[in-house]
Structure 1
């Protein structure tokens, strides 16, 4: 873990280099940065300045904007005047945190009380100042970037304040969009914040919002679902998000998300909706319920349209979600009955030079043929053995493509010995051995593929 250091301690070290060691200002500053970096100190958000030469606000525009924001927001909100000025400051701060130096600027804002100031502004403004609130929430989401900032958000009672604002401002699309962006940012990498939002019944609020068609196309809401249900806090041995996913399913959120996909959400948002639904699909029962509500039919249609429109982002996200749903044996049958094999192969023909799409398709076929000799026979008949060979020939430098081809080959032959001869005659052994030699990540998958092809020297 990085060593925490304050701005005051950093400034003191630079000053000591100058006064005690006789270094020139620039040399003293560089030496302090180098020494603290070697010691493992966290210098994110530290303003690298020579003490006394300039005030922090002069060195960093982030500090200047924050100082102006803190100085003016109480009077402006209280009097109802100059709200435009506050919004302009918020927009400027958000622009700084979203720029090319956004990560460092956000860290500076956090070190200088930015999270606390923005949460306080949200409390003061409340829903009566919708434009100001939306801007404050969007700025808050741009400032929250790491564990330290999510902790400050939690300690400022941020989760409750945001949920209250979302409930009170549920008629405003802008406010909902901004509020859910904070839910996503504040929950990322912090299990305690996720728990706080779940205790505040964020799942019921999400259900209420997604049921309203006019509010269904909000990417931030889908992002919030995905983040809340992702076990991304390395401090936690056993995350609770699996239970949260089941809660989301129990109250009917998957059904609403399927309806959202069915109603043709705009293309730029559809991948986020797929990712949200995928994060809920954590067990066989939920996967089957999504299929029973028409989820597989909707996804197959989206995949067909993505192929026609050459939209690789939608194609990948829909294939990824469908692979997750295919883990259910009942869903495998549904996908096969809907001509899934033929439709996926057609998709690869439209993206023949895109290894990422081909990987997703091979991953899906690997799931569909797992423990199913009937599906493996059908896949070979349609042409997936040829796809594996051609993909390995066409993308030799793509370790992930090579690995996925090996995994698919395993399932095509492990219970179907008649397929082994076909693939070996097509040159599978040479390609697999080459992949094993070139890519360390392929070693296990390649050895297993060679073994399942009936080769005795598969470890060679």
Structure 2
């Protein structure tokens, strides 16, 4: 049995099933193979890593992955027979050259999505073999070493392969290589790819890497290398700080993030984000910085290092250059930073509301971008009537109405829009009835009233509840109730958020 009761089958058992179909049932070879696959699939058998060949027609040994593995094993075995007389860790120059070619072939085969080649390699001892090769190669073997690390990263695709990597001493082997190869870009890039692949979904490997002080190594290399040059480094940070192993009840990643922050990684990541769209690693660096920002103290320290200015500039540039991927990543990061009350004020004071609405107008064709923008506005408006009024002044109300009308099937965006509407109108509900009579008089002068408020009145002045009530009325006059009810009816995930939005808009039948 495999993990969580998944049934598995050996190569020998699979071949025997195909052979029985041919010999006992008289099926032709192609039908015998297809019947075996379909039968096992219906029985819930996981036969990933099985070479689906026809006995007597083709052989497991004909598979290119198996052939490459066998040839690599021959080279390793020959180096053992030669003892220590051969140069560079027991491998001859020709062996090293062939090894690099074979490893590159492995990478190409395993990166072919849907081929199942990575499963075939790991089931047949690929992880153990490449770990052994990495441990034997000396620093003079840079080309095959870089190729071996690239191959290892392509092998680590599931919990079985990463556990094999852990039990084979993989973490220490890789960290030792990284420590000794700080000036070799290819080895660093491929090595951190291994760290990211190995630690994905595996809490024990995150712990192993942290025990080996990979946090110190990461920060040192970030300071030594050109900013943004090693994308896999940022991927490694993100994975190490992501709680993605459902086998454990409580992940340690929160503590790891605090450890990273104390060592100054936030400032280094801000510098990487500050490189802007000229950096190929901007998205990875933004996601890594978001993973580090786990508490108010760290969020504020990121702002103090210039993080808010850097992210807002990237948001501006992403709109100008129509870069939706950067827009999503940077908006998601800004939303995380906005969780700190101190940062909320800083974002608004730096024109954050207007810049976000401007971005939405430029990338209005992408509901995933609009969703991220609404998430920030929702966070900025939480428990802040002043920020809510500023958001409406900037055009958040129109954004909600237009986006919900244009993308009725984008359920996550619909939900986020409902959450944003709720935060825009939730405070000072006691004034709702008092100002209900203003409904016929709402018009374009609304925005002039808000400008007057911000110029002449303090946030606590009684004029603010009036503005927020006008905001509710404006939304209702533009048909927001019908739009929200449609989202509530069409999307199960929107029901709670839509109900809250209808309630805070002052509607009595919000539960209907």
Hey, what's the Cα distance between the residues in 2 that align with 1:311 and 1:7? 47
Q: Cα distance, 1:100 vs. partner?
A: 3.9
Q: Cα distance, 1:315 vs. partner?
A: 1.1
Residue in 1 that maps onto 2:452: none
Q: Return the match for 2:173 from 161, 165, 183.
A: 161
Residue in 2 that maps onto 1:6: 10
Distance 1:79 1:162, change over 3 A: closer
Hey, what's the Cα distance between the residues in 1 that align with 2:304 and 2:376? 19
Residue in 1 that maps onto 2:426: 414
Kept in 2: contact 1:267–1:314 (CA 8 A) = no
Residue in 1 that maps onto 2:500: 448
Residue in 1 that maps onto 2:66: 63
RMSD, matched Cα: 1.7
What TM-score, normalized by structure 1, do the two folds share? 0.96
Kept in 1: contact 2:178–2:188 (CA 8 A) = yes
Moved more, 209-218 or 441-450: 209-218
1:280 matched to 2:267: no
Residue in 2 that maps onto 1:427: 479
Q: Cα distance, 1:14 vs. partner?
A: 2.8
Q: Return the match for 1:436 from 478, 488, 494.
A: 488
Kept in 2: contact 1:303–1:318 (CA 8 A) = yes
Unaligned runs of 5+ in 1: none
Distance 1:215 1:323, change over 3 A: closer
Q: Cα distance, 1:24 vs. partner?
A: 4.2
Q: Cα distance, 1:324 vs. partner?
A: 0.4
Residue in 1 that maps onto 2:509: 457
What are the Cα deviations for residues 108-154 of structure 1, in whole angstroms up to 9, with x where unaligned?
11111111111111111132211110111011101111111101111
Kept in 2: contact 1:370–1:411 (CA 8 A) = yes
Hey, what's the Cα distance between the residues in 2 that align with 1:149 and 1:173? 26
Hey, what's the Cα distance between the residues in 2 that align with 1:449 and 1:215? 44
Q: Cα distance, 1:91 vs. partner?
A: 1.0
Q: Return the match for 2:193 from 164, 181, 186.
A: 181
Distance 1:27 1:310, change over 3 A: closer
Kept in 1: contact 2:227–2:272 (CA 8 A) = no
Q: Cα distance, 1:75 vs. partner?
A: 4.2
Kept in 2: contact 1:369–1:412 (CA 8 A) = yes
Moved more, 49-58 or 140-149: 49-58
Instruction: Summarize the alignment of residues 229-244 of structure 1 with structure 2, pairs less than 5 Å apart.
Output: 229-244=241-256
1:44 matched to 2:96: no
Hey, what's the Cα distance between the residues in 2 that align with 1:192 and 1:300? 37
Q: Cα distance, 1:159 vs. partner?
A: 0.4
What are the Cα deviations for residues 169-213 of structure 1, in whole angstroms up to 9, with x where unaligned?
111111110100000001111111111101111101001101114
Kept in 1: contact 2:275–2:282 (CA 8 A) = no
Hey, what's the Cα distance between the residues in 2 that align with 1:435 and 1:320? 23
Q: Cα distance, 1:339 vs. partner?
A: 0.7
Hey, what's the Cα distance between the residues in 2 that align with 1:154 and 1:357? 38
Moved more, 181-190 or 414-423: 414-423
Kept in 2: contact 1:217–1:266 (CA 8 A) = no
Instruction: Summarize the alignment of residues 167-316 of structure 1 with structure 2, pairs less than 5 Å apart.
Output: 167-214=179-226, 216-264=228-276, 266-316=278-328
Hey, what's the Cα distance between the residues in 1 that align with 2:167 and 2:20? 34
Kept in 1: contact 2:228–2:285 (CA 8 A) = no
Hey, what's the Cα distance between the residues in 1 that align with 2:365 and 2:30? 51
1:338 matched to 2:347: no
Residue in 2 that maps onto 1:85: 98
Residue in 1 that maps onto 2:409: 397
Q: Cα distance, 1:354 vs. partner?
A: 1.8
Hey, what's the Cα distance between the residues in 1 that align with 2:408 and 2:277? 37
Q: Cα distance, 1:304 vs. partner?
A: 1.1
Moved over 6 A (4+): none
Q: Cα distance, 1:433 vs. partner?
A: 1.0
